[in-house]
Structure 1
């Protein structure tokens, strides 16, 4: 029995809860059989579909966008790195400001690849480095009951960001704080970049919070393209949980990103809704009504009837490499459903000449499988652990470094 047939049989049995739509069937019912047809016909259809029905419209790159480097320390982290801090003004100055923190490994010969991602608790929380500017945005922290950053909150999220290890592999690390970009608490759309674009909040295709986070990653890439020490053609976008959802959409909608690393992004990220397992659309659109465009709410209670699903978002990343990380105890994210979505995207990767996911069945816990698509499910709960980063860095070493 051929590898392809085994894969098809596995998908058919595992998706007993509902058939997933075929990413290679166009809106008019025609089968996509060439890379040109994918690029010229099907890919634009899918980008428009997810924009309209799920993530909402975004403003593109504003002509008035500005940025300035306000810190460049060439002996940061005991001389291991150059630290850059860049203020991005998406609507121009004066206006909402998003701080981009960048560490570049010292001693590199020529521009280096980078890993870019949003963080949960502020740039100052990813490392105890006293030179990192404290955010002025709202923070959610037990150490800050008034929701304001203090020196006590420095390094509070460092366990999820192994800065020195990333640097040791030859990668720059770039990060921004989610709340600088868009509010993840009430009043939704009341701070960050949303007030710049009030016209995009009208109607049911509105500029959502996850849409804004993804959009901000593209604006950060705009800035990194201007920095000579960064190889902007080799930038991987990373995200965990809801920020993993944003990273997937950023990579799907912006083809400049060279790689996508999704850590436990779950429902509305990497998992399949059609399985009917884990967090569902009803909960997403009720508990987190700001995350997606208003159009998405009409699918509440219809997870198995969707005319689309998240394997199509993963397909939009092809032929660029993508890694999906899951956790065994993260039941909301449905680890097997994340694997199934990755596997269901494989036909597009193969059509475009890329390697797929080299596993025909859900891999054992603690095992990483890495092709053009990578996947693992590790022991433990919803978090970013050293095991996750070890796999992501190995995957990046395989795909981002010069051969």
Structure 2
């Protein structure tokens, strides 16, 4: 493949491929029961994804400090509790921090399940609520001009609200928790210098030339687990019912966080594509070389060895999905988002099913990809939404219904 070459969107040009078997260990030992999966194959797959795709991240923060900056029980006209929490990611409280924005239903005496996800441009973009603090971190420029010299302004309030239907989530009995991904690492090649990868490195260098050093996706995933650390002590949250959600590149981060951290009860990937839920070996739409050329900071250095060598990668997306088992996982695709390979995302869910069967659970429950506008699945959910690459109200209704089935909002 010539980097930057025209992507393949023709199913007839998808090459023949053989997927690695999630139920065969690296030494050839077959996995016939949950014990072997849990003790041998699952840790082995996690290690392979670390070594070859996402890189090695710390298992925890070296010291954290939780600061509840605000807890307002009259938010959104009295319909919600708005809580804003700063998580200092080093014990010295001068290093990196992550600011959580929380909306919880106003129901006393009950811990509520919540959706947790990172946002792209700052918490203030999630809702026009004037009480939300504006991020002070580096923010990418936007077409609307709400960002000046990579700093957010009040003009950005609510600009991403369509992706976060706060009132609808609250009405269904769930809370919403979000944080800006740039709190953990700004999304540009040198952004690691401003984020947790440099701050948590012993010498501040991030060891960027090490092939297994963690990339930005792993940094974002690591931050989601730190948010979970806080949610476990928040008296308004049912920490056993935290649903992880992510869109696009942040969907990749959600999947990797869900694979590493089994505290998340449900994991949702919305159009995460290559490096996320789509099968790499199909070579359809975006490919590894495209990711490494456009976003060299997202993955570990060794991932670049697989440009145009997808078959040599020792893992594929179906095994990433399988790492969620036996927890429910949902994969959302869009019919016009061919770059993210909707069929490849469906097939990843399909080929993860053997691991779910180890637990006596049905995955998708079908073998044929659903039509546009349809959704399928039991413990592995999937839908193909009409339209383009986006996180919409239609997607959210499917996710809320799926989570209702497994967790129940009320």
Q: TM-score, normalised by structure 1?
A: 0.94
Question: 1:183-205 CA deviation, whole Å, 9 max, x = no partner?
Answer: 21142311121221235535111
In the alignment, structure 1 residue 165 sits paired with structure 2 residue 172 = no
C-alpha deviation, 1:323, in angstroms? 0.3
Structure 2 residues not aligned, in runs of 5+: 1-11
- Measure the CA separation in 2 of the matches of 1:327 and 1:104: 29
- Measure the CA separation in 1 of the matches of 2:108 and 2:79: 11
In structure 1, the residue matched to 2:36 is 37
Match runs of 1:307-346 below 5 Å: 307-346=314-353
In structure 2, the residue matched to 1:95 is 95
In structure 2, do the counterparts of structure 1 residues 107 and 217 end up closer, same or farther at CA, with 3 Å as the change threshold? same
The alignment of Structure 1 onto Structure 2 pairs a total of residues equal to: 391
Question: 1:287-321 CA deviation, whole Å, 9 max, x = no partner?
Answer: 11100010111111112332210111100000000
- Measure the CA separation in 2 of the matches of 1:367 and 1:356: 16
In structure 2, the residue matched to 1:201 is 207
Question: 1:25-76 CA deviation, whole Å, 9 max, x = no partner?
Answer: 0011011000111001100001111111111111222232111100100110
Q: Which runs of 4+ in 1 moved over 6 A?
A: none
In structure 2, the residue matched to 1:122 is 122
Contact 1:17 1:276 in 2 (8 A): no
In structure 1, the residue matched to 2:155 is 152
C-alpha deviation, 1:109, in angstroms? 4.7
In structure 2, the residue matched to 1:191 is 194
C-alpha deviation, 1:207, in angstroms? 1.8
The two structures, once aligned, show a CA RMSD in angstroms of 1.6
Contact 1:276 1:304 in 2 (8 A): no
SS in structure 2 at match of 1:244? helix
Match runs of 1:103-142 below 5 Å: 103-107=103-107, 109-140=109-140, 141=142, 142=144
Equivalent residue in structure 1 for 2:302, among 271, 295, 301: 295
C-alpha deviation, 1:14, in angstroms? 12
- Measure the CA separation in 1 of the matches of 2:392 and 2:191: 30
- Measure the CA separation in 2 of the matches of 1:321 and 1:139: 33
- Measure the CA separation in 1 of the matches of 2:196 and 2:350: 35
SS in structure 2 at match of 1:247? helix
Question: 1:194-223 CA deviation, whole Å, 9 max, x = no partner?
Answer: 221235535111121000000000000000
C-alpha deviation, 1:15, in angstroms? 8.1
In structure 2, the residue matched to 1:6 is none
- Measure the CA separation in 1 of the matches of 2:259 and 2:207: 22
Match runs of 1:4-403 below 5 Å: 17-92=16-91, 93-107=93-107, 109-140=109-140, 141=142, 142=144, 143-199=146-202, 200-202=206-208, 203-401=210-408
Question: 1:127-182 CA deviation, whole Å, 9 max, x = no partner?
Answer: 00111110001222232242211111100100110001011111110000011110
Question: 1:339-396 CA deviation, whole Å, 9 max, x = no partner?
Answer: 0001010110111222210221010000011300000011111001111001000001
SS in structure 1 at match of 2:17? coil
